[in-house]
A and B are shown apart, each in its own frame.
Chain A
Amino acid sequence: MRSGPAWALLLGLAGLGPPALAAGSPADRFREANELVRGGDYPRGVALYEELAASGAESASLYWNWAQAAAARGDQGEALWALLRARELDPSDRAVLRELERLREGANLDRAEIAPDPLAGLARSARRFRLDLGALLLLVVSLGAHPCIQHWPSARGLGPTAGTALLLGLLAAAVPVAGSFARPTGAVVRRGAPLLDSASPTAEALGTLREGEVVPILETSGDYLRVEDSSGARGWTLARDVRRLTGPYR
């Protein structure tokens, strides 16, 4: 699925890769970006983080640092997006959750405005608690216990064990399965991003989206995304103004 690193490697070997990536390992580039950000050169630091993310070297730490740099240069929406992205990658990262809450309050956004789809929350919970593995384990246990009942009918507790394991396994499996039905979402990274009446350069603005707001992505058409804002208004917006929270970067 993620062919980014492989392509980068091939291009690097051919001498055609991006110079930033050709210069060192992702960890080295990450440290270099951190130094740039610490020195106050946020634009270049963020550009390096972006290159790393595009190359597939995504992690909660990468997006955490990206969020710090974006917040420092005043790009509140981008900072929120980066933290949301970090949360998607590592839902158990408490520091990300705290920072996200702080930025959300700073941006005067309601909780519902950064969590428009409850199913996305279920998907995150499933990832955070690894419910997929838990469900799998329980289902296997139930599956193993069932034939044992046939073979050792006198063995006590096998029936309840199989039944309980099956029930819990199904419940645990229901959470990630329900989460997989969540609509894709994106965060508004530009202040005053227009909501357009069509996916066209000549479209008229219906209104503006709030910076940092998370909007469900209903449709994609070229460089435009069809989204729905927190008031229920639907329209098109430029893809560069709304960055996706899930899926590989770019």
Chain B
Amino acid sequence: MKRKAGIIALLVLGRGLPGHAAEGALRSEVDARKIGLEDQVQLTITVEGAGSLPDDVSPPAFTNLKLVGGPAVSTQMSFVNGRVSQSRSWTYVLQPLLAGRAEIGPVRTRFGAVEEMAPAIPIEVVAGSVKPRAPARRPTDPFEEDPFESFFGRSRARAAEPRLLVEASPSRQSLYVGEPLRLTYYLYTQASVSDLQFTEAPRYAGFWVEDLERPERPAGDAATVEGVSYRRFPILVKLLFPTRAGRLTIPAATLKIAIPRQGFFDNGAVVQRSTRPITIEAKPIPDEPGFSGAVGRFKASVAVDHPALALGEAATLRFKVEGSGNLKWIDRAPEVRVSGAKVFPPQTKSDLKTEPSGITGSRTWEFVVVPQTTGTIEIPSLAFSYFDPSAERLSRTETAPLPLRVEGGASAAGVAAPLAAPAAARPGGPLPLRADLDAHASGPSPLPGRTIALLAGAVLLLHGGMWSSTRLAGWRRKSAGRTAAPRSVRVALRELERVGRDGMSKEAAAGLIEKTLHELFGSTDGDDSERARSVRRLLEEVQLLRYAPQLGDYSEKLHELAGKAREVVRRWA
């Protein structure tokens, strides 16, 4: 919010405050509209703009006033948002002549081909003195006095407290809950302002707050407060809606206002000004069943996008409320019940505009209506109740009943039912119904996970059992002195199966048996175990056969030896 206040301040400075250069503006201002015969009045004529400014402005006619000082001329140049603007001022000091009415005549000057005019300023002159005196200067401070002051013939602005005021001004102080209240923050100033910020974001307890757009070029207007003339600029405008009844207080808001430097020895200043607290009387509104909570003046209307549709299609029912009031608050949709149709919760759309007079526009609730029967369905009258502050009572706006024609379907009188009605979820085609109840049912029911887990566990256990028994057998073999690996035994047995096949010669067959036994049992020299003796006996038989003369068929003998070898292997390997 502080940032927001800063932005507002920048807008104010960029567009409306004194010191800003418009395309060409002329102002004539006095520091008081009511003076005493002993007082002096200061007239400042200011021209400002982005282009070239007039070098001189003719002084206006003075009625009942005489010129006692000036003109002092000052020129300012500023850069705001990348734009260069400048202003030039001529300051005159005037002395009243007689009590009564005085006047500073209109001022005219030309900006190129355009002539601008500042209106005449009436001044009331009374006897004595009414203007506050400037505080006495301290003579000991050599830098207190601006050395250029006497040269320009005007006093420094910083010598006195800058004339600045802020005010929060409500458009009214008594209203109903939900009615709009425009709250404008004004800056009253006689000095240029370079920055403006709320020290704390304004608080509006008990109000719904809407921001109003500021005008592009807020024109300051002349205003008099307690007899002192100011330029008045709106700096922030809010639209407030009381949300509860009772006395609501808008607390004071404080603004920090920066004054730019006015001369060489002036460093500028920052002053604080506060608004006064404001009390608003919020009157209660009746709370009755069905009351929407809307306050203002409204009119309701209803429409459907398809007055006639096929069964299964959907229609959109739009209930629109338009008018001026607190429509932005109202979220509760009217209850829509349509006999023979399903009505879905609505979507809400708003076309609302916040204006100084309140919120105007429309709010629309869109219901999707899906008829569930054919024929003519009636959308009943829909009502919207609101509180009319001007009449100070609840009012009601109603729509007329609306027919909705639904075609197709079994209940259409005298007409055979169509095979399929288009579905809302599948527009443009018949319902794709399946004809067979079990068209997709196939196969046995899936096994429950627990059963599968049990079966898998059982299989694992069986595998484990078999593996363990093999291991156990291996361990027994090892303890019995059989060291060959089962794989080697399998390979040896496979090799021994080949003995005598495919016309293998007795030498080759004997060599194969020898090789197999050697690979499996290794050397048995020096080993006197039964195992070694068996192997050695077998090898001797093989060698006898191998080196025996080829006198006949040895195939039978070869098979016998191979069988013995397998037995030895199975037993001892």
Q: Do A and B interact with each other, yes or no?
A: yes
Decide: A103 and B446 in contact? CB cutoff 8 A.
Answer: no
Decide: B449 and A176 in contact? CB cutoff 8 A.
Answer: yes
Decide: B433 and A34 in contact? CB cutoff 8 A.
Answer: yes
Which residues of the partner chain B approach A235 to less than 8 Å between Cβ atoms? none
A82 to B48, CA, bound (A): 77
Q: List the one stretch of B163-171, B175-183, B185-193, B487-495 in contact with chain A.
A: B487-495
Interface status of B197 (Cβ within 8 A of chain A): no
Interface status of B424 (Cβ within 8 A of chain A): yes
Interface status of A71 (Cβ within 8 A of chain B): yes
Interface status of A57 (Cβ within 8 A of chain B): yes
Knowing A147-B466, A173-B455 touch, does A71 contact B423 (C-beta < 8 A)? yes
Name the residue in B314, B419, B425 with the highest tally of chain A Cβ atoms < 10 Å from its Cβ: B425
Which residues of the partner chain B approach A43 to less than 8 Å between Cβ atoms? 372
Q: List the one stretch of B135-143, B388-396, B405-413 in contact with chain A.
A: B405-413
Interface status of B459 (Cβ within 8 A of chain A): yes
Smallest Cβ distance from A132 to chain B, in angstroms? 4
A2 to B448, CA, bound (A): 15
Smallest Cβ distance from B297 to chain A, in angstroms? 33
Main secondary structure, interface of A, reads helix
Which residues of the partner chain B approach A36 to less than 8 Å between Cβ atoms? 410
Interface status of A224 (Cβ within 8 A of chain B): no
Residue of B nearest to A75 (CB): B342
Decide: A57 and B452 in contact? CB cutoff 8 A.
Answer: no
Decide: A142 and B459 in contact? CB cutoff 8 A.
Answer: yes
- B429-441 near A? 1/0 per residue, CB < 8 Å: 0111111111111
Decide: A40 and B373 in contact? CB cutoff 8 A.
Answer: yes
Knowing A40-B409, A60-B440, A153-B490 touch, does A130 contact B452 (C-beta < 8 A)? no
- A121-134 near B? 1/0 per residue, CB < 8 Å: 00100110010110
- B476-510 near A? 1/0 per residue, CB < 8 Å: 00000000001001110110010000000000000
A39 to B330, CA, bound (A): 41
Interface residues of A in 1-44 (CB under 8 A from B): 26-27, 30-31, 34, 36-43
Interface status of A186 (Cβ within 8 A of chain B): no
Interface status of A203 (Cβ within 8 A of chain B): no
Residue of A nearest to B460 (CB): A170
Q: Which of the residues A69, A143, A170 comes within 8 Å of B431, measured between beta carbons?
A: A69
Residue of B nearest to A174 (CB): B456
Interface status of B551 (Cβ within 8 A of chain A): no
Decide: B417 and A38 in contact? CB cutoff 8 A.
Answer: yes
Interface status of B79 (Cβ within 8 A of chain A): no
Interface status of B420 (Cβ within 8 A of chain A): yes
Decide: B453 and A177 in contact? CB cutoff 8 A.
Answer: yes
Which residues of the partner chain A approach B466 to less than 8 Å between Cβ atoms? 146-147, 150
Decide: B459 and A127 in contact? CB cutoff 8 A.
Answer: no
A192 to B436, CA, bound (A): 35
Decide: B440 and A59 in contact? CB cutoff 8 A.
Answer: yes
Decide: B459 and A40 in contact? CB cutoff 8 A.
Answer: no
Knowing A64-B434, A153-B490 touch, does A180 contact B459 (C-beta < 8 A)? no
Knowing A146-B466, A170-B460 touch, does A39 contact B446 (C-beta < 8 A)? no
List 18 extra interface pairs beyond A74-B370, A153-B486, CB under 8 A.
A34-B434, A41-B409, A60-B439, A60-B440, A65-B434, A68-B433, A74-B314, A130-B443, A130-B446, A132-B447, A133-B444, A143-B462, A146-B463, A146-B467, A154-B491, A173-B456, A177-B456, A192-B345
Top 9 closest A-B pairs, CB basis? A180-B449, A40-B409, A39-B410, A71-B425, A72-B423, A39-B417, A153-B490, A74-B370, A61-B434
| A/B interface sample: 27 pairs, CB < 8 A | A38-B420, A40-B373, A40-B421, A43-B372, A59-B437, A59-B440, A59-B441, A61-B440, A65-B434, A68-B426, A68-B433, A71-B424, A72-B424, A74-B370, A74-B424, A130-B446, A132-B446, A133-B447, A136-B455, A150-B466, A154-B490, A154-B497, A169-B456, A170-B460, A177-B456, A181-B449, A191-B344
